[in-house]
Amino acid sequence: MKLLRFGPQGQEKPGLVDADGRIRSLEGKVADIAGDALSDAALAQLRAIDPKSLPLVEGNPRIGACVGSIGKMVCIGLNYADHAAEAGMPVPTEPVVFNKWTSAIVGPNDDIEIPRGSTKTDWEVELGVVIGKYAKNVNEANALDYVAGYCVINDVSEREWQIERGGQWDKGKGFDTFGPTGPWLVTRDEVPDPQNLDLWLDVDGHRYQNGSTRTMIFPVAKLVSYLSQCMSLQPGDVISTGTPPGVGMGIKPSPVFLKAGQTVRLGIQGLGEQQQKTRAAE
């Protein structure tokens, strides 16, 4: 299934995408695409519904983040060896873990705000992993059983705040609008191998990122297991799994960063596409 949330920000309603690519409302069937609604049992109940029996959503509503009430967004840095090389950093021997504040999470096509004074706002297309049930100290062999599904994430980053101003990476990762998520949560049964997905990102029509999850250093199962050893993972938590090469910071001979008035498009094979306009923060 392709599950989504549509409507004005803060008033999103649950829905799914039918076989013809149209949005069907799940109002009355589930309160939100969140929490316990992401369990295997709850998803099985939704899967049993004939999409044609659900009301069509007319027009082109705003699409919200594909998961509601996200408790935490845990991000992984330097998870592609070639991205670590372009960043001038060693390949990690354990996952590099940081957080993106939930106030950064927006819909997949909402605007990206360039922070006041920023000259180093960057892009990162990433595979998002949505947790479906409580996970603590899980084994890598069955870690994917705890995954509800997958989505597209743009891990927008302000590099000066991330790297040059001391402290932790989190500062440069958590500005408002820095976490476009969606358009869909594609359930686990439709993604048989999360380590075989192509992902890409364009800015103003120029292809900067063109990679594959095949080249991850730490695969999804390893990340879920690893994180569950240092924190409990709750239904609706999201893991952003790192980016392939081609970020603005790594472009030679001169880095390229986002400025107001640009268009960012990105996508992952089978998981949909995002498109954001950039604008100056007020």
Mean pLDDT of 151-177: 96
SS3 of the chain: helix, strand, coil, percent, to 5: 20, 30, 45
Q: What is the pLDDT at residue 83?
A: 83
Question: Over 90: is that where the pLDDT of 137 sits?
Answer: yes
pLDDT over 70 for what percent of the chain? 100
Q: What is the pLDDT at residue 26?
A: 98
Mean pLDDT of 244-252: 95
Q: What is the pLDDT at residue 1?
A: 98
Sign of CA dihedral 39, 99, 121, 106: positive
Instruction: Kindly report, residue by residue over 22-68, the tens digit of the pLDDT.
Output: 999 999 999 999 999 999 999 999 999 999 999 999 999 999 999 99
- Spatial separation of the C-alpha atoms in residues 126 and 241, rounded to whole Å: 6
Segments making up each domain of the chain, as ranges: 2-53, 73-280
Q: What is the pLDDT at residue 96?
A: 96
In the numeric block, the tokens 């800015």 are attached to: 203
> Which amino acid would we find at residue 272?
G
Q: How confident is the model at residue 89 (pLDDT cuts 50, 70, 90)?
A: confident
Q: What is the pLDDT at residue 270?
A: 98
Q: Nearest-CA neighbor of 172 among 120, 208, 126?
A: 120
The class that CATH gives domain 73-280 is: alpha beta
Cα 64 from chain centre: 12
Question: Over 90: is that where the pLDDT of 85 sits?
Answer: no
Whether residue 153 contacts residue 181, with contact meaning beta carbons closer than 8 Å, is answered with yes
Mean pLDDT of 90-104: 95
Instruction: Kindly state the DSSP code that residue 236 receives in the 8-state scheme.
Output: T
| Higher pLDDT pick, 150 / 87 | 150
Tokens of 260: 């107001």
Mean pLDDT of 176-188: 98
Instruction: Kindly report, residue by residue over 206-221, the tens digit of the pLDDT.
Output: 999 999 999 999 999 9
Q: What is the pLDDT at residue 161?
A: 97
- Spatial separation of the C-alpha atoms in residues 124 and 122, rounded to whole Å: 7
Q: What is the pLDDT at residue 88?
A: 82
Cα 185 from chain centre: 10
Sign of CA dihedral 178, 38, 33, 15: positive
Write the CB contacts of 145 (distance below 8 Å, at least 6 apart in sequence): none
Whether residue 235 contacts residue 69, with contact meaning beta carbons closer than 8 Å, is answered with no
Whether residue 148 contacts residue 269, with contact meaning beta carbons closer than 8 Å, is answered with no
Whether residue 69 contacts residue 34, with contact meaning beta carbons closer than 8 Å, is answered with yes
